[in-house]
């Protein structure tokens, strides 16, 4: 006999046990339901793409992390490292078959060969939604509203969504003569929550060669006590009213009209670093665990598919990081994992009743009860141990005498309360109750 192969997953990859996968499935289903209710439709794209398509625009860091190889046909291919680049390629390839404005969601795995560390995996799920082909406050707002609604649907209500507008910031940088260094500035400002204001001031001073300019920036990025005040503040620093500040006013009015404005703050320090955003940008923090970082981020970009087509397609979107969110929920004790989707287990206590059990199971299934028959007639305590892991509420026990009269005993497995000699109909009613 051949040697055994050690069964193990690759470094940075994960198996999911049933209780963990049930939780992930539950969250994904709730997000999906909310995305759909706001008019987003699903698409799918291949896990593998031509490397040229995935990597053209990327920086060296991404290139190092991507899983890339030559396939059997000699093609240079790679596994997607996000869902945005494939969506850009998809939009260009199918622009004649799609309609615009187009709202899609895509919840799927992506791969990055990052150094494995706490909370970082090489395979993880992104939950993206985007509206492309519209540059409107309506689309910006519905994105922000959906972020809140989706998180609420999964039980995360205590959040703050920090919103900013890159356009206003860029106007401001131009005004103070810092726009040539804007990429550096954005990158440095993006770190403020992590490194603090002093460090940001120091780095900005180095990059700009002027403590005065650096100070102007740290003044700019400090939020005031309300949306309106902050907006007035940055508007005046950026040179007065314009399309971008009008947009931020409209979005805020829409929040108020929908009664959800409490969740949002205008935070001029949000930049989304080096990303390709050009308009609104946002990040979402758990009020009780801000240290975990943003669990839902995104923004507006003015040219999604520019690498693949001439027409400009503006868009706005957001992405929920499922793994980080689950880590946060876990830490906050908000996780209620279940062990199965069953209502009831029919225990297997009489070899000779194997066929009768199936009759009862069939009748219960007719009444929309989720039920299984324990496969083997083994000791009751072993059957109990297994069903305990599955966490269903009800057990069904049938004796030979009961089987003749088509009766059964229903047992509440949590309270141990028993209901003896019920008909299948009576049992079904009690289970549904």
Extract the annotated binding site for L-histidine: 82-84, 112, 126, 130, 272, 276-277
Residue 363 corresponds to which tokens in the numbers above? 């009748």
Comparing CB distances to its own copies, the nearer of 158 and 341 is 341
Smallest gap from Cβ 322 to its own copies, in A, equals 12
Smallest gap from Cβ 367 to its own copies, in A, equals 12
Cα–Cα dist 428/384, whole Å: 21
Comparing CB distances to its own copies, the nearer of 242 and 358 is 358
Other beta carbons within 10 angstroms of residue 257's beta carbon come to 10
CA proximity to 18, closest of 430, 416, 391? 391
Comparing CB distances to its own copies, the nearer of 176 and 377 is 377
Comparing CB distances to its own copies, the nearer of 188 and 251 is 251
Cα–Cα dist 256/260, whole Å: 6
Residue with tokens 């026990």: 397
Read off φ and ψ for residue 206, nearest 5 degrees.
Answer: -60, -50
Comparing CB distances to its own copies, the nearer of 94 and 379 is 94
Residue 201 corresponds to which tokens in the numbers above? 């001031």
**Known binding residues:** 82-84, 112, 126, 130, 272, 276-277
CA geometry: angle 6, 11, 17, nearest 5 deg: 75
Asked if 351 contacts 363 with a C-beta cutoff of 8 angstroms, the reply is no
Comparing CB distances to its own copies, the nearer of 100 and 205 is 100
Other beta carbons within 10 angstroms of residue 150's beta carbon come to 25
> Distances in Å between the alpha carbon of 81 and those of 11, 40, 87?
17, 22, 12
Smallest gap from Cβ 408 to its own copies, in A, equals 15
Cα–Cα dist 339/390, whole Å: 4
Comparing CB distances to its own copies, the nearer of 56 and 400 is 56
Phi-psi region of 242 (alpha: psi -120 to 50; beta: other; left: phi over 0): beta
DSSP track, 188-244: HHTTHHHH-HHHHHHHHHHHHT-HHHHHHHHHHTS--SSHHHHHHHHHHHHTS--HH
Smallest gap from Cβ 310 to its own copies, in A, equals 7
Residue with tokens 């940001």: 200
Smallest gap from Cβ 273 to its own copies, in A, equals 23
Smallest gap from Cβ 276 to its own copies, in A, equals 15
Smallest gap from Cβ 384 to its own copies, in A, equals 11
Smallest gap from Cβ 72 to its own copies, in A, equals 5
Comparing CB distances to its own copies, the nearer of 296 and 305 is 305
Residue with tokens 């930049």: 271
Smallest gap from Cβ 301 to its own copies, in A, equals 15
CA proximity to 255, closest of 264, 244, 247, 266? 264
Q: Give Cβ neighbours of residue 232 (< 8 Å, ≥ 6 apart).
A: 224
Comparing CB distances to its own copies, the nearer of 70 and 180 is 70
Cα–Cα dist 239/90, whole Å: 39
Comparing CB distances to its own copies, the nearer of 233 and 390 is 390
Smallest gap from Cβ 100 to its own copies, in A, equals 7
Cα–Cα dist 377/354, whole Å: 9
Q: What is the DSSP secondary structure assignment for residue 108, as one 8-state letter?
A: E
Entry field: residues in the chain: 433
Other beta carbons within 10 angstroms of residue 324's beta carbon come to 18
């Amino acid at each position: 006999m051949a040697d055994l192969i050690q069964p193990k997953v690759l470094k940075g990859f994960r198996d999911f046990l049933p209780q963990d996968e049930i939780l992930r499935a539950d969250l994904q289903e709730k997000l999906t339901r909310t995305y759909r209710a706001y008019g987003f439709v699903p698409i799918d794209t291949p896990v593998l793409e031509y490397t040229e398509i995935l990597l053209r625009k990327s920086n060296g860091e991404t290139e190092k992390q991507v899983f890339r190889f030559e396939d059997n046909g000699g093609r240079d291919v790679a596994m997607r490292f996000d869902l945005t680049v494939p969506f850009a390629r998809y939009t260009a390839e199918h622009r004649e078959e799609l309609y615009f404005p187009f709202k899609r969601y895509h919840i799927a795995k992506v791969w990055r060969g990052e150094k494995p560390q706490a909370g970082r995996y090489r395979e993880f799920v992104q939950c993206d939604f985007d509206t492309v082909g519209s540059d409107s406050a309506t689309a910006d707002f519905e994105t922000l509203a959906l972020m809140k609604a989706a998180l609420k649907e999964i039980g995360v209500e205590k959040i703050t969504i920090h919103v900013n507008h890159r356009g206003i910031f860029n106007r401001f940088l131009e005004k103070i003569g810092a726009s040539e260094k804007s990429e550096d500035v954005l990158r440095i400002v993006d770190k403020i929550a992590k490194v603090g204001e002093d460090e940001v001031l120091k780095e900005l001073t180095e990059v700009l060669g002027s403590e005065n300019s650096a100070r102007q920036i740290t003044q700019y990025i400090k939020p005031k006590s309300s949306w309106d005040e902050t907006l007035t503040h940055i508007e005046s620093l950026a040179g007065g009213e314009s399309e971008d500040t009008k947009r931020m006013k409209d979005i805020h009015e829409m929040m108020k009209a929908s009664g959800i404005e409490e969740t949002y703050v205008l935070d001029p320090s949000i930049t989304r670093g080096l990303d390709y955003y050009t308009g609104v940008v946002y990040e979402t923090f758990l009020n009780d665990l801000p240290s975990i970082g943003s669990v839902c981020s995104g923004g507006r970009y003015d040219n999604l598919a520019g690498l693949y087509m001439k027409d400009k397609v503006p868009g706005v979107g957001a992405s929920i990081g499922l793994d980080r969110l689950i880590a946060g929920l876990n830490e906050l004790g908000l996780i209620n994992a279940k062990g199965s989707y069953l209502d009831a287990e029919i225990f297997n206590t009489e070899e000779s009743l194997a066929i009768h059990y199936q009759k009862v199971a069939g009748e219960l299934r007719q009444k929309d009860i989720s039920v299984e028959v324990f496969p083997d007639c083994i000791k009751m305590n072993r059957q109990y141990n297994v069903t305990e892991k599955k966490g269903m509420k009800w057990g069904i026990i049938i004796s030979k005498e009961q089987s003749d009269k088509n009766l059964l005993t229903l047992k509440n497995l949590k309270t141990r309360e028993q209901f003896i000699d019920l008909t299948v109909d009576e049992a079904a009613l009690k289970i549904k109750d």
